[in-house]
Amino acid sequence: MTRYPKIRILLLTILILSFVLLPGKANSSEKSKSKRKKRSRKGKITCIICHEQLGKEKALWVKQWQESIHGKNNVTCPACHGGDPSSFNKPKIKGTGYLGKPSRTEIPEFCARCHSDTSWMRQYNKRTDQLSQYKTSKHGMNLYQKNDTKVAVCTDCHGRHDIPEVSNPASLANHKNIAETCSKCHGDADYMLPYNILTNQLTAYYNSYHGMIMKNKVDGKNPSLVPSCPDCHSPHGAKPPEVAEIANVCGNCHMQTEKYFHDGVHKVALDEVNKPRCIDCHNYHEIRYPTTDLFVGESMFHCGFCHLTNSKEYLRGLKIKEAIENAEREIDKVEKMVLTLQETPGLDVIDLKENLQRARRNVLEAVPRTHSLVEEDVTKYTNKALALTNEVEQKVEDMKEEFVTRKKGLFAALMVIFFLICSLLYKRWLLELKEEEI
């Protein structure tokens, strides 16, 4: 009897709870669904309602726009195309400011209505100089002065309705894609025929060290840090860099190298006779990883192309080359020694490897100093590297010697043990003899 009230209370609670909780849940989920529907319908504007029903390409525009940066930031159709989206009646009639589809010549100004408006773009923290830059570019000059519509306009790189952010990997203007995008026109020999400029830039670029890194072919290098077309040619004000610009363009990233170059005699020559520029030794577009080979030979991009092979300058180059190569050779030699040593278990080469890395860093520091063309600048660092390498070599020898000493010690210890065993055996033999006597 005493237990029943408890159970009843329990059942009652469950009953009440089930009444309160279950319908409540159903209610809330239904409500939120309808709310969401309403909100999304509320957000629709008449352009979209019709265009979605038109299907095919016209419906695609809507979809593309929705996924674009404009769609995400709620920059709706009339923001670009004008018109009055609030009424179904005549959204496109005159007086509503309807613009429709801009022609290629109109496109830059079309985009610039917002993108050059500093007060408007401020909220997005975007730059507004694209149009003015574009006007100074070869593209812009051809478009506005020669009325040439074959040149690139905004939409060619950024897309029309489907404009993703440039940081989006899907964007044609994204760092990883832009080289391919430029090459769509610049790699097309027929298309570029009237302009009489090179069309092999992309292949050349991909053969270059920059391009190799971009294609992830160089271990440990970050593709997002290497330059692509716009990094040297400017994104919107694209045109070939002029003679005076080149060192600055390269120096934007290779700051140290630029500094050393400015310290050297080549800078004087550059100021006087416009030679040698970076590209005279390193080529352009197809910029290979520079090796010490540049110091020998008379072909293009080598010292001998300008200097006589028996001249003082050429010989100085050879000396610099020798200093660097000698350091590298020594490091390679000692590294091999360390690697063979490493195969012996129990040998600790961690410190040796670290020191070799330091030596390599010193060589790496010496290399840009070749641009000053002062021998001492380079040898200062290669000598440091050599000193470190010799230290490692000495340690390797010490280790080997230490091993020999250990083996000698072992041999001596084994001899002592052997002797001890012999004498114990002798003792045993004596005891055996005694036993036999007994």
Partner 1 sequence: MMKPELKGKKKPNEPVGLRGLLSWFTSEGFLNDVLKKRLGISDNLINKFKNNLQPKKKIHLGAYISWILTFLFIIECLTGMFLMMYYHPTIAEAFEDVRYITNIVPYGWLIRGIHFWGSHLMILFVFFHLLQTYLKGAYKPPREITWISGMVLLLLSLGFGLTGYLLPWNQISFWASTVVTEVPMAFPYIGHYLKLIARGGENVSQVTLTRFFSMHVMALPALTTFFIVLHLIPIRKYLIPRDLITHFIAILLCFALLISLATLSPAPIHEKADPYHTPNKVKAEWYFLAAQEVLELAQHLDFLGGWAPKLMGVLIQIFVILILFLIPFLDKNPARNIKKRPFAVTFISIGYCAFIILTLVAKFK
Partner 2 sequence: MELNKGDSSYLSTTRRIFMKILMGGIFGGLIGWFLYPIFRYLIPPKNSNQDSDIININTAEVPVGKSKIVNYKDTPTIVIRTDYGLFALTAVCTHLGCIVQWDESNQEIVCPCHAAKYDLNGNVKSGPAPRPLTVVKARIVDDKILVGEA
Enumerate residues 6+ apart whose C-beta is below 8 A from 282: 288, 290, 301
Using an 8 Å Cβ cutoff, are 102 and 110 in contact? yes
Using an 8 Å Cβ cutoff, are 175 and 254 in contact? no
> If contact means CB under 5 to 8 A according to the sort of partner, which of partner 2, partner 1, none does residue 423 touch?
partner 2
* Interface pick for partner 1 out of 12, 197, 244, 424 (rule CB under 8 A): 424
Q: Is 419 in the site for partner 2 (CB under 8 A)?
A: yes
Distance CA 292, CA 299 (A): 14
Written as six digits, the tokens of 192 are: 């570029």
Query: Could you count the other beta carbons within 10 Å of the beta carbon of residue 310?
Result: 7
Q: Is 423 in the site for partner 2 (CB under 8 A)?
A: yes
Q: Is 21 in the site for partner 1 (CB under 8 A)?
A: no
Give the nearer residue to partner 1 in terms of CB position, either 166 or 347. Answer: 347
Give the nearer residue to partner 1 in terms of CB position, either 100 or 346. Answer: 346
Give the nearer residue to partner 2 in terms of CB position, either 14 or 387. Answer: 387
Distance CA 138, CA 373 (A): 36
> If contact means CB under 5 to 8 A according to the sort of partner, which of partner 2, partner 1, none does residue 319 touch?
none
> If contact means CB under 5 to 8 A according to the sort of partner, which of partner 1, partner 2, none does residue 425 touch?
partner 1
- DSSP secondary structure, 371-420, as one string: GGT-HHHHHHHHHHHHHHHHHHHHHHHHHHHHHHHHHHHHHHHHHHHHHH
Q: Is 406 in the site for partner 1 (CB under 8 A)?
A: yes
Give the nearer residue to partner 2 in terms of CB position, either 10 or 416. Answer: 416
Written as six digits, the tokens of 81 are: 């195309």
Binding residues for partner 2, how many (CB under 8 A)? 8
Q: What is the largest CA-CA distance in the chain?
A: 139
Type and span of the H or E element at 136 = helix 130-136
Q: Is 416 in the site for partner 2 (CB under 8 A)?
A: yes
* Interface pick for partner 1 out of 53, 231, 427, 437 (rule CB under 8 A): 427
Map residue 317 onto helix, strand or coil. helix
Q: Is 394 in the site for partner 2 (CB under 8 A)?
A: no
Give the nearer residue to partner 2 in terms of CB position, either 15 or 415. Answer: 415
Interface with partner 2 in residues 261-300 (CB under 8 A): none
Q: Is 16 in the site for partner 1 (CB under 8 A)?
A: no
- Stretch of 154-162, 173-181, 354-362, 401-409 contacting partner 1, by CB under 8 A: 401-409
Give the nearer residue to partner 1 in terms of CB position, either 90 or 406. Answer: 406
Give the nearer residue to partner 1 in terms of CB position, either 244 or 431. Answer: 431
Place of tokens 């084994």: 414
- DSSP secondary structure, 23-52, as one string: HHHHHHHHHHHHHHHHHHHHH--HHHHHHH
338: buried, middle or exposed (CB in 10 Å: 19+, 13-18, 0-12)? buried
* Interface pick for partner 2 out of 225, 315, 413, 414 (rule CB under 8 A): 413
Q: Is 412 in the site for partner 1 (CB under 8 A)?
A: no
Q: Where are the alpha helices (DSSP H) in 56-129?
A: 56-67, 69-72, 77-81, 107-115, 118-121
**Shortest Å, Cβ 121 to partner 2:** 48
- Residue ranges that bind partner 2, judged by CB under 8 A: 413, 416-417, 419-420, 423, 426-427
